């Protein structure tokens, strides 16, 4: 991919990630990881980079949700301790998992999520 195409590709990636994050929460990562990999970024770096992209988007979306009355910190706080522990465990596991297994697990999670959505 030449530099000009790559620049526009990343612009599209940012817009798509922002829109999906605003609509679905951190769902933008579902698009970001495959797009980063397509751009030639190694899978583990794509997952880690996705987190660094999604974190500020989640923060900004959370502020908008909060001020629009669609966010309750009281409901969220119960999930935080184990969510943070899971994040540490996931980051540690990312270093240990081979790229092929990482891709397959990510794909399985996406498929299971899609099936759950369609079954509702």
Q: Where are the domains of the chain?
A: 3-119
Cα–Cα–Cα angle for 15, 108, 62, rounded to 5 degrees: 40
Per-residue pLDDT of the chain (120 residues; tens, 9 = 90+): 678 888 888 888 888 888 887 777 766 677 888 888 888 889 999 988 888 888 888 888 888 888 888 877 788 888 889 999 999 999 999 999 999 999 899 889 889 988 998 998
Which of 23, 6, 93, 13 is CA-nearest to residue 53? 13
Instruction: Count CB atoms within 10 A of the CB of residue 94.
Output: 15
- pTM across the whole model: 0.72
Give the SS3 label for residue 4: helix
pLDDT for position 96: 93
């Amino acid at each position: 991919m030449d530099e000009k195409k790559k620049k526009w590709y990343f612009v599209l990636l940012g817009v798509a990630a922002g829109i999906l994050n605003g609509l679905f929460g951190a769902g933008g990562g579902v698009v970001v990881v495959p797009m980063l990999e397509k751009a030639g970024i190694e899978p583990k770096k794509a997952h880690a980079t996705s987190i660094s992209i999604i974190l500020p988007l989640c923060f900004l979306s959370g502020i908008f949700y909060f001020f629009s009355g669609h966010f309750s910190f009281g409901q969220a706080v119960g999930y935080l301790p184990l969510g943070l522990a899971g994040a540490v465990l996931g980051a540690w596991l990312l270093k240990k998992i081979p790229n092929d297994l990482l891709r397959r697990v990510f794909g399985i999670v996406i498929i299971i999520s899609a099936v759950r959505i369609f079954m509702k």
